[in-house]
Structure 1
Amino acid sequence: MRTLSFLILLLVITGCDFKNKSADTHTIAPIEGSKNQYITTKEYTGVIFAPDTSANADEGSVQFMPTAEDIENAERIFKMCLKTSKIDKDGVIVDSTRIQAPSGYFRQYLGYKNKNGEKVILLNCFIKSAVSKDETWKKEIIAFKDGGNNYFSVHINLATNDCFNFFVNGGA
């Protein structure tokens, strides 16, 4: 009987711990004066841009509002591309040695469907210390000139689990 009580207690404790871990994966909040959403996790912080944001995606593409699940998938694929030093279709290596630790960047996520109807996330990253206090980065796609590895971007195809157009800024 004592063993049974111990097992029940262990199951209850383990079950509660599991619920807390899975429920705390991300937090999403609206951004005042914008249709964009602010997403935070233990690993990254960023903004999910609404479809009416003007930004360059692929020609013939249609923007969409990524879900938290889309963002989690994009981040997973990006990590995989960094670990494998994947060479994209343009011959560019998605190389972790060319950027700083990914957790040190704020992210901007812009979703679009390419000409094949596949969901693609444009992941635009810039070092947290480069952000101005007015927080315009939460409402506008940021483009830096120069700055080296303080800024990079990459497109992530959710349908093919692929990264492409990896771009790290040049030095000043």
Structure 2
Amino acid sequence: MIWYAVLLMAVAAERVVELLVARRNARWSLARGAVETGRRHYPAMVALHTALLAGCLGESWAADRPFDAVLGWTMTGVVAAAQALRWWCIRTLGPRWNTRVLVVPGLPLVSGGPYRWMSHPNYVAVVAEGLALPLVRGAWLTALLFGVLNAGLLTVRIRCENQALVPGRTPDVPGPLSGTAGAGR
């Protein structure tokens, strides 16, 4: 159980690094006239991702299920692959990557790296990690709850990003649940 707590702390530390990168990148984008959309759903996203880590630890501790080596090590591999994909996205987008939806007018869409094959590869990483991280220690209720809530949130988020990335579009005033983990497609 201690190694799982260490893994969760490492993921939490990685999130802090992401937020620091996002803050730096936000300054870069805003200095170039970036427009932010989707502010209203951003707090829900932060809360859900924080709850994922707490749920992983809480359920694994409370349920005290035995470690299933095949599932646990396989899911650990999926978590590692998700991290690699996430950082490939961050590297590909460079200063344009953010946890908020910030779009610098006039910049072309990014079409390199993982964006060569899909529109939102960072969210593939989010989904994979959100399901795999709890399953490392058999926290299947946390995986299920995160999966369902994240599906709803990603529906809003991806719609928001897609609308924000339409060339020449005037951003809407943020509506209910209207904020990017990258302004690239």
| TM surpasses 0.5 | no
- Structure index of larger Rg: 1
TM-score where L is the length of structure 1: 0.27
**TM-score w.r.t. length of structure 2:** 0.26
State the structure with bigger RCO (CA 8 A, min sep 6), 1 or 2: 2
More strand, by proportion: 1
